[in-house]
Chain A
Amino acid sequence: MTSTPIRTEQASGAFAARLRVFVNRRASWIPVFAALAILIAMFVGAQLYFGNFLTPRLVSSLLLDNAYLLILAVGMTFVILTGGIDLSVGSVLAFTGIMCARLLSEGVPTGVVIPIMILSGAGIGLLIAVLVQFFDVQPFIASLAGMFLARGLAFVVSLSSIKVEDPAILWLQSTRFQVGGWYITPTGIIALLVVLAAALVLQFTRFGRTIYAIGGNEQSARLMGLPVVRTKILAYVISGTCAGLAGVVFAAYTGSGYPLNGVGTELDTIAAVVIGGTLLTGGSGYVLGSMIGVFVYGTIKGVISFLGAEQSWTRITIGVLLLIFVVVQRFIITRSRRR
């Protein structure tokens, strides 16, 4: 009785089925494309409205101004992919930045300072990871402790801002490799290299695939014999390392260290990652998406300063965008669950 309708459906729906398979297989890329579409729409809209928005100088400065955020977002993507969260990144950025400035002002060579900064970021990441993994502390609370710790340590290092005068650090920011009107700074190159490395690691290494497996279902990953403990710890360490590196980049960007730097940056980072299509439940998302998310964030900031509107609109716009994306993601998840 039911066989005939099914057969006709199969025959007529061959193309539709293939499309469905494609969409199913690429379902996790859809939010990334959505973010890209929004970014392009914003570019086009701003260009039509202002007429002089899409200049090489402005687009180049997008990468320059958001290099630190990009590095933070890459680290955050690793943690969120495992289903965790890292609230400490903004404070770690402040701590490593001010520590960097302090050590340099006391005459420690740059070649020693930068590794120390990156390692201390990794150390705080490790602390959070140990709390999460061995003591079953929720990532939210564990990274909250890391956040308090790093912020306090930043104030221990110095209560006021310290100027960075080291030529090597300033070189990172002031050098511009120019092609026509386009330019890129070493900080921008570092950020892009971090994105590239992270994308390759997540896509093609066992470690990267384990991250996705844990985010998909930690229990299954464990039963499959994947090194869950090691991978989760590494994810937080990577986030801490990225935050340490971002601290150096931020110190170069602002030419100083200041213990109140990066207040609220962890939220901007999380927002950028979510806008870039990474699911907060873990297991789905891409570093490239996070990069687009960061650019969306930067473009909103640029548009608002072009409009001469108050910067409070940045936060509101980001909040609204975040909302739209989360609701869209929600529908994608419910749809894929129903299948």
Chain B
Amino acid sequence: MKRVVKHRLFWPIAALVALVAVNTISRPAFLSVTVQDGQFYGSVIDILRNSAPLMLVALGMTIVISTRGIDLSVGALMAVSGAVSLTIIEASPDPENLGVVLVAIGAGVLTTLFLGAWNGFLVAVLGIQPIIATLVLMLAGRGIALLVTGGFITTINSTPYQFMAQGSVFGLPFAFYVSIAAVAIVALVERRTALGVLTEAVGINPEASRLAGVRSRGIVWGAYAASGVLAGFAGILYSSNIMAADANAAGLYIELDAILAVVLGGTSLAGGKFSLAGTVIGVFTIQTLKSTITFLGVPPAVSPVFMAAVVIVVVLVQSRRVREGFARIGKALSRTPSQTRPDAEVAS
């Protein structure tokens, strides 16, 4: 039991389970999934579908945070990739053509790859603080997207493009497969090669890892580029969902949700060790929370109050002082004298 509680994913999973439990009690239909025309429907399926953009962005954010960085520009990059792809599709004579759609998606993602690499250049080569380096594109990115769309909200009709966010394969939303694929690829690259360990090394102590021969510059650069690519795909999913490129609304505040998901998943903002599984759980927690807020009849505009409450509770639970307090209470209750300080390793 003690080992279960000590596991680093215990609290994130507990929070998600608690949320699901609250939902199931307040509306028994929450967990039920109905089949219609060979397609699954239900709140859970909606959560899987709607969480896809956040999942992609949060994965990239996890890697960037692990290198002691932060990427504020992801929301703006989403707007850019959506704007680029939709403008290409709109300009093409045949928007229904799969080839056109693929070229458009490729162009959108390449653009954000370039922008992500630019962020990486500022951070890794010029040594600018990540918050500020990415703030530049966060400010300018939406302006670029507005220029691409000419200041309008570009709308298109294209079945293949629409399929990405709204279509389904084997009864499950296609967007869900996209997020699974992204998780699998990132997990394979980071955890089945040494890259993940090297990334953590750079995050824990950049100087020491440099002296140990880790090429930290390339790793940090790559992290921002990867975050850019993932944000690009997220922007395409988002624009495919509404079939419009809205430079102002696309991915608004998603950087904050993504950072929150990463923190909820137990990855420290101070960099170093990261948990992809934790991020996945964090994303589902946030998406479930949003669905709960909508279900409870709270106007969506007021939902930030709930988000604030969750953020505060989570950061308090993670903070050393509160954990020490809990540990002290636990010790007083069990009255078992132990020499090891349990909080010392939890706090790391």
Contacts and interface: CB of A to CB of B under 8 A. Distances in A.
Interface string A128-169: 000100111110111011111101110110010000000000
Nearest to B322: A135
A280 B132 contact: yes
A156 B302 contact: yes
A305 to B, nearest CB: 15
Interface in A253-281: 259, 267, 270-271, 274, 280-281
Given A155-B299, A159-B301, A319-B143, A135 B315 contact: yes
Interface residues of A, number: 45
B33 interface: no
Contacts of B136: 319-320, 322-323, 326
A330 interface: yes
Contacts of A106: none
Interface stretch (A64-72, A207-215, A234-242, A307-315): A307-315
Contacts of B127: 330, 334
A316 interface: yes
A159 B312 CA distance: 24
A152 B316 contact: no
Contact of A141 (B129, B138, B140, B269): B269
Contacts of B122: 323, 326
Q: B interface, how many residues as a size bin?
A: 35 or more
B305 to A, nearest CB: 3
A85 B129 CA distance: 13
B9 interface: no
Contacts of A312: 142-143, 146-147, 151, 247
A268 to B, nearest CB: 8
B126 A131 contact: no
A288 interface: no
Given A136-B319, A280-B132, A330-B126, A146 B308 contact: yes
A39 to B, nearest CB: 19
B139 interface: yes
A54 interface: no
Interface of A: 85, 91, 131, 134-138, 140-142, 144-149, 151-153, 155-156, 159, 259, 267, 270-271, 274, 280-281, 310, 312-316, 318-320, 322-323, 326-327, 330, 334
21 contacts: A134-B321, A135-B315, A136-B319, A137-B316, A137-B319, A141-B269, A141-B311, A142-B315, A149-B305, A149-B308, A152-B303, A152-B305, A153-B305, A155-B305, A156-B302, A159-B299, A312-B147, A319-B137, A319-B139, A320-B136, A322-B139
